[in-house]
Amino acid sequence: MCGITGFYNGELKKEKFIESTNLIKHRGPDEEGFYFDDVAFGHRRLVVIDKQNGKQPMKIGNYVLVYNGELYNTKSLKEELIKLGYTFTGTSDTEVLLKSYIEWKEEAFVKLNGIYAFAIYDGEKVILVRDRLGVKPLYYSNINNELFFSSEIKSILKYYDLNTVNDDGLRELLGLGPSHTAGITVYKDVYEVKPGEYLEFIKDVKKKIYWNVEAKPFTDDFASCVKKVKYLLTDSIERQLVSDVGISTFLSGGVDSSIITAIAAKANKNLQSYSIEYEDNDFEANDFQVSKDIDYIKYMVERYDLDHKYLEISLEELAEYLKEAVDLRDFPGMADIDSSLLWFCKKVKKENTVALSGECADEIFAGYPWFYRDTGSDIFPWLRNLKMRENLLKDEWIERLKLEDYVKDKYEETLKEVSNLNEHQKMMYLNIKWFMTTLLDRKDRMSMGASLEVRVPFSDHLLVEYLFNVPQEFKHYKQEKGLLREAMADLLPAEILNRKKNPYPKTHNEKYTKIVANLLTERLNDESSILNILFKKDKLIDLIKSGGTSIDKPWFGQLMTGPQLIAYLYQFDYWFSKYKLKLG
């Protein structure tokens, strides 16, 4: 994986462009590369495949490419191009990608299988392309008819000295956050290339969609469906094991990560796997977290003779990394759900450059409770307690932002895109377009912040396309994700195969709540804090005094309850101060 930047159609400030590119050095600490001509491209490289022949930016004839990602069908594309007369100097997927575009132009995009964000200059225009599910990020601005793009927002902010957050930005953070509306950001004049979209830029932006999920008649019986799922998922995982450096896996003891680890272990007898635990974690089962991961990891370690490392994060470290997690996202995120992952990735990076992780399984196999249980929400089912969030604001901001109206509008706009689908497909669509992208954003920023490439085999578009049309009763065969369990049963110990779904682990220790409560209290004592401008101080004090226990159910997803709201507000204040933001 890498970090990319680019500038086109204006007078380049070269030194500032280089500085802006180096802000994303963490995405590619191994090499840097620049191309300056009619277009400026910058690249920070994390070497995974073909160190010598994969250098970027890459130029062939009039075509220049800068690319972040991995192609998992490099071999088949290369074979097809060789038949057409192309030759290759190495094994790099970068060369295959550029020659694919030279041969097929925009039609090449639908041939790609992988995770990617890239830009191509063809002598006349710049084209920006993002992968189908949004695994890899790509942001841009179009100020004064100039195009500036980057893997992370910080480069754009630096180049143009941008620091304005308008009302819609606040609505995104305080109403929808940590999810967000595709295509926009919380910053004025900064946008996002949507998943499955590409942009053409000459003197203005033209947007085109090259992929979306599609409703199709489903005719397979259950046995055929099981066989198809096994093939598609196994194929995805095996293709993602290709690397010139070692492969590791994240192993939680759940079904998703255990399947990936099992297939990886068969291919690599020296596989390293990793799990995270929290210092003095006083676990209590609830509707979402029903068992401790460590009790199940041992079954996989024993069955596959894994070189497994149990990593334990202290509560002080968990709070300490809240700031860096904001720096990597360029806005507040998932609080300690982010900071723990960042810490974890940094530990894994000490021994590995590539890891595989189980994100996206719940979205496509209908594993979340809201697929089969009423959450009591009439909007996005992972957004609950919205009224509670809104009531923390001062009255003038409640009236000005109208968070409930904004969120409901976004929900209804999304459903209008799929008015012809059945109810299960609508829920699938909501999850793919909103919840999945939130988790993929998190995984990219925190892993690349540690210079670790994390691959997500469940996000393979062929698997997603197929499962989009599989009926819910197949997916929920006997229990949640029953279809997945049935398809991969031969790989898993019975204890894991029958384990009830558990989300990413979090701390339940009151010590962590006290740490973040003290941090937020300190910021509230600063009268210039954005918290005192937007929020009712007495409400925040009450939240802190209660230790977050006044929030009796998650306000986002399955994990973010009272302590995470306190941490999120602390991140919000840190972000506003660190980035020297203004409202406008």
Active site residues: 2
Residue (of 41, 9, 17) closest to 145 by Cα position: 9
Following CA atoms 110, 112, 114, 115 in sequence, which dihedral angle do they give, to the nearest 10 degrees? -60
Give the helix ranges, DSSP H, for 161-221: 167-171
**DSSP annotation string for 390-440:** HHTB-HHHHHHH-HHHHHHHHHHHHHHTTTTS-HHHHHHHHIIIIIHHHHH
Spatial separation of the C-alpha atoms in residues 468 and 573, rounded to whole Å: 39
Q: Are 498 and 273 in contact (CB under 8 A)?
A: no
CB 320 within 8 A of CB 338: no
Whether 293 contacts 253, CB under 8 Å: yes
Rounded to whole angstroms, the Cα distance separating 110 from 495 reads 40
Contact 513, 409 (CB under 8 A): no
- Length of the chain in terms of residues written: 584
Q: Could you give the dihedral angle defined by the CA atoms of residues 560, 561, 567 and 572, in that order, rounded to the nearest 10 degrees?
A: 70
Secondary structure letter of residue 336 according to DSSP: H
What is the DSSP pairing of strand 197-201 with strand 205-209? antiparallel
